[in-house]
Chains A and B, each alone.
Chain A
Amino acid sequence: AQTVTQSQPEMSVQEAETVTLSCTYDTSESDYYLFWYKQPPSRQMILVIRQEAYKQQNATENRFSVNFQKAAKSFSLKISDSQLGDAAMYFCAYGRDSNYQLIWGAGTKLIIKP
């Protein structure tokens, strides 16, 4: 069965610095998607970035980028120039088009120090 592991329950970073959140997953499939979702204190989940496994190029969205290592089954999120509004829980998730269910990690709480 597929699993998603986020080994860092909590991370903190100084405002304007860079932080990397880790995610590893276990699958025997070759075609899948990986996601990072943000959950601010308002609770509403927001998609930050996604990666298609067949793409070698790492996805980027403004200050957010991923380091996708398919062989190592690793999918880390890098946040550059951290801002106070980045403070939130961040969840990593795995999914496949042939399966309705996303598999979620337990989340990492990101604290931004002013």
Chain B
Amino acid sequence: NAGVTQTPKFQVLKTGQSMTLQCAQDMNHNSMYWYRQDPGMGLRLIYYSASEGTTDKGEVPNGYNVSRLNKREFSLRLESAAPSQTSVYFCASSEGVAASYEQYFGPGTRLTVT
């Protein structure tokens, strides 16, 4: 099992450019998440998808959109990148959204916006 995979691993964008971060899981999990990690801070939830066909905003959704393409895939789109979006982005999945379910994380994407 690959678990949770993310592409790309690294990306450099210019301000105003757009891009999509891809995430896929092979554990048949219902719920998927996008987080960002900034220096000196814990993870912050951007968006989550409780189940296929649903998406909801997390703590810091501004400037992002998501698509739950199917049960396996959950993508994060930056329509017009800003330097404040320079961060490491993690995708995670779990059987359900309840805290009792363990979240499994991908390896992250380091994004730099210049």
Nearest opposing residue in chain B for A4, CB measure: B42
> B100–A97 contact, CB under 8 A?
yes
> B105–A44 contact, CB under 8 A?
yes
The A interface is mostly helix, strand or loop, or mixed, namely strand
> A100–B42 contact, CB under 8 A?
no
> A100–B56 contact, CB under 8 A?
yes
Query: Which A residues are within 8 Å of any B CB, using their own CB?
Result: 4, 9, 32-33, 42-47, 50, 52, 91, 93, 95-107
Across the interface, which residues of A come within 8 angstroms of B92, CB to CB? 45
Specify which of B48, B56, B99 is in contact with A97 (CB 8 Å cutoff): B99
Across the interface, which residues of B come within 8 angstroms of A46, CB to CB? 105
Across the interface, which residues of A come within 8 angstroms of B102, CB to CB? 47, 50
Is the C-beta of B90 less than 8 angstroms from some C-beta in chain A? yes
Nearest opposing residue in chain A for B48, CB measure: A100
CA–CA, A97 to B100, complex, Å? 6
Across the interface, which residues of B come within 8 angstroms of A33, CB to CB? 99-100
CA–CA, A39 to B108, complex, Å? 11
> B98–A97 contact, CB under 8 A?
yes
Across the interface, which residues of B come within 8 angstroms of A99, CB to CB? 99
The B interface is mostly helix, strand or loop, or mixed, namely loop
> A106–B106 contact, CB under 8 A?
no
Is the C-beta of B81 less than 8 angstroms from some C-beta in chain A? no
CA–CA, A96 to B101, complex, Å? 10
The contact string, 1 if C-beta is below 8 Å from chain A, for chain B 37-56, is 00011111100101000001
24 A-B pairs (CB sep. < 8 Å): A9-B40, A33-B99, A33-B100, A42-B107, A43-B107, A44-B106, A45-B43, A45-B90, A45-B103, A47-B102, A50-B102, A93-B43, A97-B98, A97-B99, A100-B48, A100-B50, A101-B59, A102-B43, A102-B103, A103-B42, A104-B42, A104-B43, A104-B44, A106-B41
CB distance from A54 to the nearest CB of B (A): 11
CA–CA, A12 to B25, complex, Å? 35
Additional 8 contacts, C-beta under 8 A, given A91-B42, A93-B43, A106-B40: A33-B99, A45-B105, A91-B43, A100-B58, A101-B45, A102-B103, A106-B41, A106-B42
